[in-house]
């Protein structure tokens, strides 16, 4: 009896299936890297801006001290975290990471409610930014740990 060959049709469909999941993982990893950057940028912004208030106008960067910049950073970081948490949940089903994202976003929102002109508001905001960065890095690591497409933990 002759040996059976798989043929080109099977290899094309397998390649097509394999190409979908890595692309999703690449987009998710890029989103997590961007989110981690935003979290660190948020924390740095909250620490540096109050210390540099006297210098910012002479550098033409006084806009960095405006509330609108804070609001945009928090909004973009929160949306990025929510999307990354969704992609991460679909990849690894780890609720701890989703809760870490939620807690970090809650810290950022709470900091704005307290008022970032107070030291407590700044501290909460820095903790939220660092929490977001850690959540994104944890999400990336956890998403990479599973090599089997569609596998749940």
* CA–centroid distance for 151 within its chain: 22
For 75-129, what is each residue's pLDDT tens digit?
A: 999 999 999 999 888 888 899 999 999 999 999 999 988 887 788 999 999 999 9
Q: What is the mean pLDDT of the chain?
A: 80
Whether the pLDDT of residue 135 is over 90: the answer is yes
pTM above threshold 0.75: no
Q: In angstroms, what is the C-alpha Rg of the chain?
A: 21
Whether the pLDDT of residue 70 is over 90: the answer is no
What is the domain partition of the chain in residue ranges? Answer: 24-145
Residue the block writes with tokens 């999941």: 21
Alpha helices in the chain (DSSP H): 8-51, 56-59, 67-92, 95-114, 119-145
For 50-67, what is each residue's pLDDT tens digit?
A: 888 888 888 888 888 787
């Amino acid at each position: 009896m002759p040996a059976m060959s798989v043929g080109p049709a099977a290899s094309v469909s397998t390649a097509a299936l394999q190409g979908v999941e890595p692309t999703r993982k690449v987009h998710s990893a890029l989103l997590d890297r961007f989110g981690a950057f935003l979290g660190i940028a948020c924390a740095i912004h909250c620490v540096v801006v109050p210390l540099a208030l006297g210098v910012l106008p002479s550098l033409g960067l006084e806009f960095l001290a405006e509330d609108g910049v804070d609001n945009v950073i928090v909004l973009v970081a929160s949306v990025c975290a929510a999307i990354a948490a969704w992609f991460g949940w679909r990849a690894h089903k780890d609720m701890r990471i989703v809760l870490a994202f939620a807690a970090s976003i809650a810290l950022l929102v709470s900091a704005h409610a307290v008022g970032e002109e107070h030291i407590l508001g700044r501290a909460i905001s820095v903790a939220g930014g660092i929490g977001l960065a850690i959540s994104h890095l944890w999400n990336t690591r956890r998403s990479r740990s599973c090599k089997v497409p569609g596998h749940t933990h």
